[in-house]
A and B are shown apart, each in its own frame.
Chain A
């Protein structure tokens, strides 16, 4: 029924779309730089790459909620922080050789990362189940604000809870351990983070393409449609929210390991905003968007900070430029509008 000026797309589509090429390039650079830096003994850059990777995982988590389920959470710092505190508290008890809970059964601390990750994700999942069950009754801006409210509650709780340091936070004196590898080594730790990032992206992609993903995506686009098709939106969205929180929680646990420190600033609304910035900068709903977003943000923050004391002004201008002139984030700018088959 309509004509187009130019022939739409060449018939023999090249196998790799532009987005795929960008994705591969970004991941290759993210992997190659620390390998190179480590080879010349500059662990600082390796840690910087780990930081980007960890932020990217947090972003992948939030992106699943926003990009797939349309749940714009302004409280994901809660999960990031809970993941972090799980690590911090486990390490604290393991270091002090005290028990976390004595009654009704004894739970001691641990310094095994694998266990900590699982526990952190489970706790985040439970927290998200509770927060989501209440928050998902609301929508739009109300959802943004109620998630913020829950995060703020946890933030104030952490600040005034003396056992684990309150505002001063908790130091992790020794990085926790992984079986068979030396997690203290910057490069090894980076590789672990990188593999987890790949895992998070893979899981997120798989889920998005599944029947569950189809339902979740429809919940974002048109909830009425979803219900009319016979699928209750609420449990679908809640499940999506929980999965998203668990991924972000894992990132929090890694962040604590990287810094050797946890504190309430992991839970603050600025942190929620930053995770959201990673997602938007990279491009909402783009699988690898958060990687680009996190990399860009960390690099801007690090390098503008070196130039000038007024780096926040430049950072602000840079962010503003991206929103105004690169619709759909950096990925949108490079690879065009998102396509859903």
Chain B
């Protein structure tokens, strides 16, 4: 058995009376895309939030590459190799796409307490950022301010930022949302391409993409992981059909 890159054990989180995460355990192995599906409000984003460090779990632990990171800050988890995208894009809007990616590159290269050398003339930094943007399909758009990019393009920038951290694992919260059919297909192909290098925990409501990409699917309902299995197993489950898929499977 291969060692999981990311492992979540017995996570609990309540908001007042609402239990948003109920004893969730799951893992992410090398070379796999593990999809997380479930109805709206099932607690998927909350779970990602806890893994990334924005939300403190009530109990349970999170391991990254075998190391317990439960009490680490967001930034330190990112540095240790946890890349993520947000359900609603979160980028520095006033600057170019390249600047956004450069920041991730710079963080992955070490301390940001470097005061003198100008990033503008740091060709290596700029080139690396450009490469990542090319990889997600944004060649030629690097120097446009993010605020002037369309909804879909922003998603791509966000993915590029996550990749630029050279992450060990990637958390993607609905990366397809807001992408048109062409965009979805491109992104699907791209994720396919990086799977061998970076395992992905993927939240997505676009079932075409999920069924095409996922090696494993975990279904979250009402905060609890009720089922985990291969694409076919999930498709076949009556429970999942009823709670989530509806007629679509």
In the complex they form, whether A and B have CB atoms below 8 Å apart is answered with yes
- Any chain B CB within 8 A of the CB of A211? yes
How many inter-chain residue pairs (CB < 8 Å) link A and B? 106
By a CB distance below 8 angstroms, the chain B residues around A239 are 113
By a CB distance below 8 angstroms, the chain B residues around A230 are 75-76, 78-79, 104, 107-108, 165
By a CB distance below 8 angstroms, the chain B residues around A152 are none
A221-B94 contact given A211-B119, A212-B114, CB 8 Å threshold: yes
- Any chain B CB within 8 A of the CB of A323? no
By a CB distance below 8 angstroms, the chain A residues around B102 are 214
Main secondary structure of the interface of A (DSSP, over half): helix
Do A210 and B114 have beta carbons less than 8 Å apart? yes
- Any chain A CB within 8 A of the CB of B40? no
By a CB distance below 8 angstroms, the chain A residues around B52 are 228
Q: Residue A231 contacts which of B93, B95, B103 (CB distance < 8 angstroms)?
A: B103
Do A212 and B93 have beta carbons less than 8 Å apart? no
Do A341 and B112 have beta carbons less than 8 Å apart? no
Q: Residue A210 contacts which of B78, B94, B100, B119 (CB distance < 8 angstroms)?
A: B119
- Any chain A CB within 8 A of the CB of B74? yes
Number of B residues near A (Cβ < 8 Å) is 39
A228-B78 contact given A206-B118, A239-B113, A341-B120, CB 8 Å threshold: yes
Q: What is the size category of the interface that chain A forms with chain B?
A: 20 to 34
- Any chain A CB within 8 A of the CB of B99? yes
Do A212 and B115 have beta carbons less than 8 Å apart? yes
In A154-192, the 8 Å CB interface with B consists of none
Do A225 and B92 have beta carbons less than 8 Å apart? yes
By a CB distance below 8 angstroms, the chain A residues around B118 are 206, 209-210
- Pull 18 A–B residue pairs with CB atoms less than 8 Å apart, ordered by A: A1-B150, A210-B116, A211-B106, A211-B117, A212-B115, A217-B95, A221-B92, A221-B93, A224-B90, A225-B92, A228-B78, A228-B86, A229-B103, A229-B107, A230-B79, A230-B104, A230-B165, A231-B107
A interface residue numbers (CB < 8 A to B) = 1, 206-207, 209-215, 217-218, 221-222, 224-233, 235-236, 239, 340-341
